[in-house]
Chain A
């Protein structure tokens, strides 16, 4: 009997002790957590910087719907096979053909289009439209300046930036990931080519206007193109327009012979003020004044008429080669 009682006592004692220990275990992190995490972090660090994983490797990925959504997002109607060709790089196509040949697939089934043809077409369209647009928007800028602005818009960096922000990065079939900026630029050209093939060249022109020309919005044109030797150029322009010989005049100065000297120079031609500029010495001030005068003559100032991005250029004005 006493044995029974003692057993019951032990059980009664054991119960609160048990519950206390369970609470105790929840109060702290297990002792293995910190070293394990440290070891994992160490291994990640040892591996070095990893390349980002392509989105197409995920389980939730459907290339066909992505292609369909790409066109719909931009409010364009693409023919999906054409669009897929536009996203296929030549190197990738070759690699894929080699792989299939090794697997023993018949030569007839190995046809895989790539985007080089579409890209050349797109280059023509984009170049022609941008030149026509700049001709329309900046009529007084000399051809050199227009060329510089056009080449800025058609530069690889600008086109790659546009292409990534259209969501094309994940859709490109390329041997490398993430695709290089050259690949992205070529793909954008190919997309323009594919668009002109699927829904007409006018839509392609609007595409170029809405996504490439808009990069000029509120852009300082002097950043893109600054005339070298502005005084000389100003002299030439003045003789062309019969404005008279340009002549720099000091309008004001302050802090002469100090480190904070400022000169204010105006450029006059035939007693008419063409432009004004500041500088820390006279030569610098004259040059800024000449650039200012050129900006006024070419209508390149910040306060000029802003670019009209709703403009409908007629197709006949765009010179396609």
Chain B
């Protein structure tokens, strides 16, 4: 129920028009009865929005306190790399398949962070976290080719046979560190929905 109330509040924060509210309710698959119950009630939207923001603020402050004391522990992140998503934590190894320019020994930072989390909190991007909020550093440790893959085609009774051999490039990456670079700002985080990102 609290989840429902929270989502209601979220919906209310965006708009005051009842028509869209109805639409949103339908989207949340709340049954008609509940909707009818809510219909005649007058809701103070501004108050609920304010309450929600305050809640957001307190959560962010608690996270900031934990990070300031460096008690957050091991961080993990979901990064988007070359069309795939990886859940990584410091010390992990991930592999990128296909051609990718960086060479061995290069130190890179993975910028597309979809989610970052620790023992007690999770920051979820919509769809991505703000640029520069989470710093994921990595080192390229190997560039190699896969084993030989055989592509063999044959059509029966048609004198047709083709055989091809293929090896595609693979890149091995070591994740060195994941860090929160700046304290969270509850207000900005709530409003930064329309951040301009080109990728």
Contacts and interface: CB of A to CB of B under 8 A. Distances in A.
Interface in B101-136: 118-119
A99 interface: no
Nearest to B92: A218
A305 B70 contact: yes
A217 B177 contact: no
B177 A304 contact: no
Contacts of A308: 177
A303 B74 contact: yes
- Chain B interface size band reads 10 to 19
Given A217-B91, A218-B91, A305 B74 contact: yes
A306 B119 contact: no
A42 interface: no
A309 B174 CA distance: 13
A27 interface: no
B176 interface: yes
A104 B90 CA distance: 60
Given A310-B176, A310-B177, A304 B91 contact: no
B183 interface: no
B89 to A, nearest CB: 7
B73 interface: yes
Nearest to A214: B91
Residue of B70, B89, B91, B176 most packed against chain A (CB within 10 A): B91
Interface in A284-308: 301-306, 308
Contact of A303 (B91, B119, B176): B119
Contact of A302 (B70, B74, B92, B177): B74
Interface string B6-26: 000000000000000000000
- Chain A interface size band reads 10 to 19
Give chain A's interface secondary structure class.
loop
Contacts of B177: 306, 308, 310
Residue of A217, A306, A309, A310 most packed against chain B (CB within 10 A): A306
Nearest to A308: B177
B121 to A, nearest CB: 12
Interface in A208-254: 217-218
A90 B21 CA distance: 85
Contacts of B119: 303
Contacts of A309: 176
Nearest to B70: A305
Nearest to A306: B90
Nearest to B119: A303
A244 B90 CA distance: 36
B131 to A, nearest CB: 23
B105 to A, nearest CB: 10
A308 B70 CA distance: 13
Contacts of B74: 302-306
A306 B89 contact: yes
B78 to A, nearest CB: 17
A170 B119 CA distance: 46
A304 B73 contact: yes
Interface in B11-63: none
Contacts of A305: 70, 72-74
Contacts of A310: 176-177
A265 B185 CA distance: 39
A218 B92 CA distance: 8
A316 B91 CA distance: 29
Interface in B54-102: 70, 72-74, 89-92
B91 to A, nearest CB: 4
Interface string B156-187: 00000000000000000000110000000000
A135 B65 CA distance: 24
A166 to B, nearest CB: 16
Contacts of A217: 91
Contacts of B90: 306
Contacts of A306: 74, 89-91, 177
Nearest to A309: B176
13 contacts: A217-B91, A218-B91, A218-B92, A301-B73, A303-B118, A305-B72, A305-B73, A305-B74, A306-B74, A306-B90, A306-B91, A308-B177, A310-B176
Given A303-B73, A303-B74, A309-B176, 12 more contacts: A218-B91, A218-B92, A301-B73, A302-B74, A303-B119, A304-B74, A305-B70, A305-B72, A305-B73, A306-B90, A308-B177, A310-B177
Give the top 3 A-B pairs by smallest Cβ distance, nearest first.
Answer: A218-B91, A306-B90, A217-B91
Interface of B: 70, 72-74, 89-92, 118-119, 176-177
Interface of A: 217-218, 301-306, 308-310
